[in-house]
Amino acid sequence: MISTNNSSCGLSRRDFLRMAAIAGLSPWQAALAEHRGTLVNDVHSALNPTWVTEIHHVESLSDSVQAITRARKSGQSLAICGSRHAAGGQQFLTDGVLLDTTQMNKILHLDQESALLTVQSGTRWVDIEASLNKIQLREPKPLGINQKQTGLNTLTIGGTLSANAHGHGLLLKPFVADVDSFKLINADGELINCSRHENVDLFSAVIGGYGAFGFVPQVTLKLIHRQKVRRMVQMIPLQKLGQCVEQSISKGFRYGHCQMNIDESSPGYLNEGIYSTYEPVDIDTPITGSEKQMTADGWTDLVSLVHSDKTKAYKDYVAFYQSTDGFINWSDVWQNSHYVNGYHQTLDRLSASKESATEVLSEFFVPIPQLETFLSHAREYFLAHKQNIIFSTIRFIEKDDETLLPWARERYACIIFNFHTAHTPSAIEVTMLSGKFLIDRAIDVKGSFYLTYQHLADKKQVLTCYPSFENYLALKLKHDPNEVFQSDWYRWHKKMFAQESSDCVPQKA
Ligand SMILES: Cc1cc2nc3c(=O)[nH]c(=O)nc-3n(C[C@H](O)[C@H](O)[C@H](O)COP(=O)(O)OP(=O)(O)OC[C@H]3O[C@@H](n4cnc5c(N)ncnc54)[C@H](O)[C@@H]3O)c2cc1C
């Protein structure tokens, strides 16, 4: 069995006290006890209740410039939020102004010839897909998106760009590869263009830079020719996954993912999975199986079942996937998924649970040949610590050689866990310690972790996985010396990097 060293894996005192304070009541109740402005929280984990002084729902470029200039003149700092799904406090600033982009949701321009689409940054993927379909109704060779996050359709383009997100491509780089250019309103309220030719340092820092360099009002995306694909589903032992992926790639498949068995009572627990790949077919091939797609009710029932009977839930999930084997649809449609904001509140109510709970996402990256080793550590650790996984999937990513803070430093397998977490100090600690433990196991095999979820990594872990983090902090101060743009995530990292600098040698990764 793997033991954990609590001194290296333990939460910082501040973090733990915060979590504990939150968890004594419910997060909302605890935060409400010290009312001072408007209370906001992240949508998925709900572990980031934050008081902000005011919220501006900006609607236009001039509106945004005015809000930023006003905040700067009055000495206030501000954070920027889209759909509020980041889970480490990247989109909120305690006692700061919050710029909410969700009203800036217009499709600005489609250049069919160059396959470029310009949208306002608060536009959600679901609206982009609907607009593209509408605009190109009679287009024989329509354009579509290359990749988006697959767990939900309501994330904004600004949020996607700031996390440098990924979808389920087999050979795709993170989102940066799909960005042609964007505009940025900097701390002085100036509007500047950022691309691979203009303000290149900002282009590479803002993508994956979590809102620290300014407000992105609009983004120009690179589109691809819309492609129809046939979903192919097979159950595989996970040690065969690397081989299966190679085979899929050699046949010209662009997309694929593997949903892992999360039933800890089964011998297949984190040992087998449902591997789905998508074979390109002729654009005139009719769409099939639309009636078998997961519905919102089906999604809700499955999420509910996985909380009460994992064995049956996983069986049903396998049966559902297998029933879609051979179905044909557009590749962007296959990237969509249902998600109900606040679904856990309903589950808590229906199960008459004493404690509120949510799922906490985390994601780790390892070289594909090391996947097996990493998963065997995870399996052993989760069983020993009774870590309850609600969902787990494996994706693939190509090396990102463009951004300042690349999470995909190599071609990696991306392992995603969604941990059920009651909002009690002990349950939150179990989840956070699992995350810290897995960061170390990823580092052992030259891997990394995703910054968009909880800020649980210590300085050594951050520096090992993100060797340019200090450059990121320095560049932020160069472009924004008065720190007009901040977030609790930024403050936490800045403080951590200001401390214990002499004793921190990054691990070899
Ligand atoms: C259920 C779920 C599934 C997910 N699936 C995936 C996945 O498949 N792949 C993946 O890569 N990630 C995934 N994520 C993570 C997600 O992509 C990121 O957290 C993303 O940043 C959230 O976008 P948002 O619109 O909610 O942004 P927010 O959470 O509101 O903001 C995130 C960051 O973007 C910044 N930001 C937002 N808009 C702007 C702007 N206009 N200008 C400057 N900064 C801005 C904010 O300041 C903040 O730092 C998932 C998250 C959840 C909860």
Angle at 155 (CA atoms; ends 36, 406), nearest 5 degrees = 95
pLDDT in tens, 399-417: 999 999 999 999 999 999 9
Q: What is the mean pLDDT of residues 287-302?
A: 90
The protein residue whose alpha carbon is closest to atom 3 in ligand 1 is: 151
Task: Tell whether ligand 1 has an atom less than 6 A from the beta carbon of residue 158.
Answer: yes
Helices 343-350 & 296-308 angle (0-180, nearest 10): 50
| Per-residue confidence (pLDDT) for residue 292, from 0 to 100 | 80
Label the pairing between strands 97-100 and 54-57.
parallel
Q: Is the pLDDT of residue 354 over 90?
A: no
The protein residue whose alpha carbon is closest to atom 46 in ligand 1 is: 91
Q: Which residues of 384-414 are buried (b: 16+ CB within 10 A; e: fewer)?
A: eeebbbbbbbbbbbbebebbbbbbbbbebbb
| Per-residue confidence (pLDDT) for residue 500, from 0 to 100 | 62
Task: Tell whether ligand 1 has an atom less than 6 A from the beta carbon of residue 163.
Answer: yes
Q: Which residues contact 313 (CB under 8 A, 6 or more apart)?
A: 263, 302, 305, 306
Task: Tell whether ligand 1 has an atom less than 6 A from the beta carbon of residue 123.
Answer: no
| Per-residue confidence (pLDDT) for residue 454, from 0 to 100 | 86
Grade residue 5 by pLDDT with cuts at 50, 70 and 90: very low
Q: Is the pLDDT of residue 306 over 50?
A: yes
Going from the Cα of 156 to the center of ligand 1, the distance in angstroms, rounded, reads 7
Going from the Cα of 84 to the center of ligand 1, the distance in angstroms, rounded, reads 7
Task: Report which secondary-structure segment, H or E, holds 409.
Answer: none
pLDDT in tens, 240-257: 999 999 999 999 999 999
Going from the Cα of 298 to the center of ligand 1, the distance in angstroms, rounded, reads 25
The ligand 1 atom nearest the CA atom of 452: 19
| Per-residue confidence (pLDDT) for residue 16, from 0 to 100 | 45
Task: Tell whether ligand 1 has an atom less than 6 A from the beta carbon of residue 121.
Answer: yes
Grade residue 103 by pLDDT with cuts at 50, 70 and 90: very high
Q: Is the pLDDT of residue 18 over 90?
A: no
pLDDT in tens, 258-281: 999 999 999 999 999 999 999 999
pTM comes to 0.93
Strand-pairing partners, residue 9, are: none
| Distance of alpha carbon 43 from alpha carbon 254, whole angstroms | 31
Going from the Cα of 335 to the center of ligand 1, the distance in angstroms, rounded, reads 16
Burial class (CB in 10 A: 0-12, 13-18, 19+), 198: exposed
Task: Tell whether ligand 1 has an atom less than 6 A from the beta carbon of residue 208.
Answer: no
Question: Are the beta carbons of 308 and 314 closer than 8 angstroms?
Answer: no
The protein residue whose alpha carbon is closest to atom 39 in ligand 1 is: 158
The ligand 1 atom nearest the CA atom of 485: 47
Q: Is the pLDDT of residue 17 over 50?
A: no
Closest of 93, 80, 82, 163 to residue 405, by C-alpha? 163
pLDDT in tens, 332-353: 999 999 999 999 999 999 888 8
Closest of 435, 320, 423, 350 to residue 29, by C-alpha? 423
The protein residue whose alpha carbon is closest to atom 18 in ligand 1 is: 86
Measured from the Cβ of residue 290, the count of other Cβ atoms closer than 10 Å reads 10
Of 45, 85, 403, 455, best ligand 1 pocket probe by most atoms within 8 Å of the beta carbon: 85
| Per-residue confidence (pLDDT) for residue 12, from 0 to 100 | 46
Q: Is the pLDDT of residue 19 over 90?
A: no
Q: Is the pLDDT of residue 505 over 70?
A: no
**Percent of residues, the chain, with pLDDT higher than 70:** 91
The protein residue whose alpha carbon is closest to atom 13 in ligand 1 is: 149
Task: Tell whether ligand 1 has an atom less than 6 A from the beta carbon of residue 86.
Answer: yes
| Per-residue confidence (pLDDT) for residue 25, from 0 to 100 | 52
Sheet of strand 54-57, all strands in order from the earlier edge strand to the far edge:
54-57, 97-100, 78-81
Q: What is the mean pLDDT of residues 158-176?
A: 98
Q: Is the pLDDT of residue 9 over 50?
A: no
Task: Tell whether ligand 1 has an atom less than 6 A from the beta carbon of residue 91.
Answer: yes
Going from the Cα of 450 to the center of ligand 1, the distance in angstroms, rounded, reads 12
Helix (H, G, I), strand (E, B) or coil at 171: coil
Label the pairing between strands 357-366 and 448-449.
antiparallel
Task: Tell whether ligand 1 has an atom less than 6 A from the beta carbon of residue 84.
Answer: yes
Grade residue 509 by pLDDT with cuts at 50, 70 and 90: very low
The ligand 1 atom nearest the CA atom of 156: 25
Task: Tell whether ligand 1 has an atom less than 6 A from the beta carbon of residue 149.
Answer: yes
Going from the Cα of 160 to the center of ligand 1, the distance in angstroms, rounded, reads 5
Q: Which of 49-58, 71-80, 81-90, 346-355 has the lowest mean pLDDT?
A: 346-355
Ramachandran angles phi, psi of 319, nearest 5°: -60, -40
The ligand 1 atom nearest the CA atom of 122: 41
Task: Tell whether ligand 1 has an atom less than 6 A from the beta carbon of residue 80.
Answer: yes
The ligand 1 atom nearest the CA atom of 211: 44
CB-side neighbour CA atoms (13 Å) of 480: 26
Sheet of strand 255-260, all strands in order from the earlier edge strand to the far edge:
328-330, 228-237, 272-281, 255-260, 389-397, 412-422, 357-366, 448-449
| Distance of alpha carbon 479 from alpha carbon 266, whole angstroms | 53
For residue 214, is it left (φ>0), alpha (ψ between -120 and 50) or beta? Answer: left
In the 8-state DSSP scheme, what is residue 389?
Answer: E
Question: Are the beta carbons of 170 and 252 closer than 8 angstroms?
Answer: no
List own/partner pairs for 340-346 with CB under 8 A and 24 or more apart.
Answer: 340/296, 340/299, 340/300, 341/43, 341/154, 342/43, 343/300, 343/303, 344/46, 346/300
| Distance of alpha carbon 213 from alpha carbon 301, whole angstroms | 41
The ligand 1 atom nearest the CA atom of 165: 11
The more confidently predicted of residues 17 and 195 is 195
Task: Tell whether ligand 1 has an atom less than 6 A from the beta carbon of residue 151.
Answer: yes
| Per-residue confidence (pLDDT) for residue 290, from 0 to 100 | 84
Of 42, 43, 44, 149, best ligand 1 pocket probe by most atoms within 8 Å of the beta carbon: 149
In the 8-state DSSP scheme, what is residue 79?
Answer: E
The radius of gyration computed from the CA coordinates of the chain, to the nearest angstrom, equals: 22
Q: What is the mean pLDDT of residues 381-393?
A: 97
Q: What is the mean pLDDT of residues 96-118?
A: 97
pLDDT in tens, 35-58: 678 999 999 999 999 999 999 999
Going from the Cα of 433 to the center of ligand 1, the distance in angstroms, rounded, reads 23
Q: Which residues of 424-435 are buried (b: 16+ CB within 10 A; e: fewer)?
A: bbebbbbbbbbb
Going from the Cα of 245 to the center of ligand 1, the distance in angstroms, rounded, reads 27
Closest of 422, 432, 427 to residue 13, by C-alpha? 432
| Per-residue confidence (pLDDT) for residue 63, from 0 to 100 | 93
Q: Is the pLDDT of residue 477 over 80?
A: yes
Of 343, 452, 484, best ligand 1 pocket probe by most atoms within 8 Å of the beta carbon: 452
Q: Is the pLDDT of residue 441 over 60?
A: yes
Q: Which of 15-24, 84-93, 128-137, 341-350 has the lowest mean pLDDT?
A: 15-24
Task: Tell whether ligand 1 has an atom less than 6 A from the beta carbon of residue 90.
Answer: yes
| Per-residue confidence (pLDDT) for residue 36, from 0 to 100 | 76
Of 104, 156, 415, best ligand 1 pocket probe by most atoms within 8 Å of the beta carbon: 156
| Per-residue confidence (pLDDT) for residue 161, from 0 to 100 | 98
| Per-residue confidence (pLDDT) for residue 242, from 0 to 100 | 97
Of 42, 59, 78, 162, best ligand 1 pocket probe by most atoms within 8 Å of the beta carbon: 162
Question: Are the beta carbons of 118 and 108 closer than 8 angstroms?
Answer: yes
